[in-house]
A and B are shown apart, each in its own frame.
Chain A
């Protein structure tokens, strides 16, 4: 049977999606390359690539060492973990933001909607003020551990407050999130009042940044975020249908309650991981899904992966700006994301006129 224009156009959509993802991947690689070379010590891209490739077993013998050991240390110990952390956090926040906006059917939702930020902040502040010094595996230190514990326990608290019987009404979740979040914010303020000379450290941590990035954190964070993304992506079509409303979604065979709980837990864990390695980076999780929705449309099968790639690129670029703009000092990355994100978002808002989920 002959295909009509409409059908051909629809099937071409999938090819267009692949193209979008390839383009966004190229942008991300380019940003990562730029971020690796830019810094107080200028290292050309080709040399940086050689240094990176030299780390890979079997390949290392093919590359002659033509650089100084300080350069290798800067690339491998400082810049690479920092860039990769930005990628992981960018993916985590953007994907969690997209999932929460869909689940709550609310354009205001962001990764911190359930109080993860305040919970993590409280945990981290506690570690800093009490000067907790324990470590796990000899390298993962008290602050990220306390931050992720704070984040996860906040989510379970909110979840427990919002649940009625077997159901989980989203409005109750939102309100419980606001209440718990405010409570922990107040506790953070108390901690800061008591912090004394640690005040500056706590404050900088709350603003979010990557100055403490380490390989050891990435070993835990990257696989967690990757697995979380794959699970969320598996339910992309269900997300589209959930946008129609829970009742209709149930009638179309979507297991709404099950998916809701799953998304809630996965998105929160992913956010907690991000917060534990970078502190609280604002705005990325809120605006990246909106920007991508305007650019690629509302279908989560393209929206989720393109938000992940775009979020990673944006955070890598913002972090590069943050550590170079007032050299030799560095700004917290969270300030840059908000300062650059807001005007761009306002521009899109004015241009497209309407914000939808």
Chain B
């Protein structure tokens, strides 16, 4: 059932248009995430929906009634807002604050009665804050305060819940706790919830659908995987990210790579880089090089290896080996010939076992061939060596031959620029 419907809303501050033609709806039991960069109109949208800002054009329907034709107390009975954490410097107790949520339901001279107390207690039990009831609000921690604000919103007995960055400024345990609670409330109470998020991963994991705002317009709307694409995020946030499905939670997760810099000079046309990686140690590096416009090759990688999959997505030429198999002599030779064509060879922070020891020999071969070799040395080789010392000896030999050693892959673009010149 559609509880909240926004139809063609335009909002202005003075003569500046902040929202343009925004339309969507939220069903009962649904948690919808609102994403967008700073200034994209997220908070303005929440203000328009909560009747604090009148849209210039368009309408907001709460359970099929236009909110601007309703009295504000009528709206407050059906729609509750959890504001961003603000400083609350009063001597009111947590229970006083939650009981303020009963205000729209009470008459002018009425006092809170047992029924109101019962509702407040239920809301505080649900948010696990009942034990804080008699504490002054200014003595609560940020996380507790946010939970009390959610309890206040629930005490309004709303059908629609709006939340403005419910998890920002909170510790990771509180973030997860509040998101779990929100999803539970939506399902159990059949609420429609709309929440502003800054954290893509939290939104991706908990929301049923997402809305991506950009310059006051809806840029993308729909299922999480339709909205959170690398292209959409690049366009709206001007940042390169890797979007993958997490193998354990099976929800999308987003890793930022680097912000796009307009002044980056494209590398020379035939400047080639070969990356020796595996086991996930090269995915970020390859992506980074790809973003900077380099012509990249990689090898030798086993099929199904996450580095292999990243290279396939980016359409990078790879010397590949059968899954979980040691590198054959034939593929090693093909790798060496790729190295011969490259200008720079980068060895990622990869682990070595007997199966891929040939990749380390390939790096030594590159040095002998006079190639510029960069070694990403993030983890000490002793911890990455599963060959009983063979790899460590080869690695030390490699490092003694005048290769460039870096601590992490973000240093590489600037080193490459130096090599180019």
Contacts and interface: CB of A to CB of B under 8 A. Distances in A.
Interface of A: 1, 3-4, 6-7, 9-11, 14, 234-235, 237-238, 240-241, 243-245, 247-248, 250-255, 293, 297-299, 301, 356-357
B126 to A, nearest CB: 16
B51 A250 contact: yes
Interface stretch (B94-102, B265-273, B288-296, B313-321): B94-102
A357 B108 CA distance: 23
B88 A234 contact: no
Interface string B107-135: 01101101001100100000000100110
A243 B109 CA distance: 19
B90 A357 contact: yes
B72 A250 contact: yes
Contacts of A6: 95, 121, 130, 133-134
B92 A298 contact: yes
A252 B95 contact: no
A244 B91 contact: no
B104 A252 contact: yes
B117 A251 contact: no
A297 B91 contact: yes
Contacts of A3: 114
B356 interface: no
Contacts of A251: 50-52, 76, 80-81, 83
B89 A356 contact: yes
B100 to A, nearest CB: 5
Interface string B269-302: 0000000000000000000000000000000000
A14 B90 contact: no
Interface of B: 47, 50-52, 71-77, 80-81, 83, 86, 88-92, 95-96, 100-101, 103-104, 106, 108-109, 111-112, 114, 117-118, 121, 130, 133-134, 156
A234 B52 CA distance: 24
Given A7-B114, A251-B80, A252-B100, 12 more contacts: A6-B133, A10-B95, A240-B92, A240-B100, A244-B100, A245-B86, A251-B51, A251-B76, A252-B104, A253-B76, A253-B103, A293-B91
B91 A356 contact: yes
A253 B100 CA distance: 10
B52 A250 contact: yes
A11 B95 CA distance: 12
18 contacts: A9-B134, A235-B108, A237-B103, A237-B106, A238-B103, A244-B100, A250-B51, A250-B72, A252-B103, A252-B156, A253-B77, A253-B104, A255-B72, A255-B73, A298-B90, A298-B92, A301-B111, A356-B91
A298 B118 CA distance: 23
Contacts of B103: 237-238, 241, 252-254
Nearest to B75: A253
A353 B130 CA distance: 29
Q: Which of A14, A238, A251, A299 has the most CB of B within 10 A?
A: A251
The 3 closest A-B pairs by CB, nearest first: A253-B76, A253-B104, A253-B73
Contacts of B109: 234
B90 A253 contact: no
A357 B89 CA distance: 8
Contacts of B104: 252-253
Contact of A252 (B76, B86, B133): B76
Contacts of A293: 91
B100 A241 contact: yes
A247 B108 CA distance: 21
A357 B156 CA distance: 25
A193 to B, nearest CB: 45
A299 B96 contact: yes
B56 to A, nearest CB: 14
A326 B156 CA distance: 59
A74 to B, nearest CB: 41
B156 to A, nearest CB: 7
Nearest to A251: B81
B78 to A, nearest CB: 10
B91 to A, nearest CB: 5
Contacts of A244: 88, 100
Contacts of A243: 90, 92
A11 B117 contact: yes
B212 to A, nearest CB: 25
B121 A7 contact: yes
Given A6-B95, A14-B111, A248 B75 contact: no
A356 to B, nearest CB: 6
A4 B121 CA distance: 10
B94 to A, nearest CB: 10
A11 B114 CA distance: 8
Nearest to B81: A251
Contacts of B91: 293, 297-298, 356
Nearest to B90: A298
A18 B276 CA distance: 81
Contacts of A356: 89-91
A299 B133 CA distance: 16
A247 B117 contact: no
A14 B99 CA distance: 14
Nearest to A354: B89
Contacts of A298: 90-92
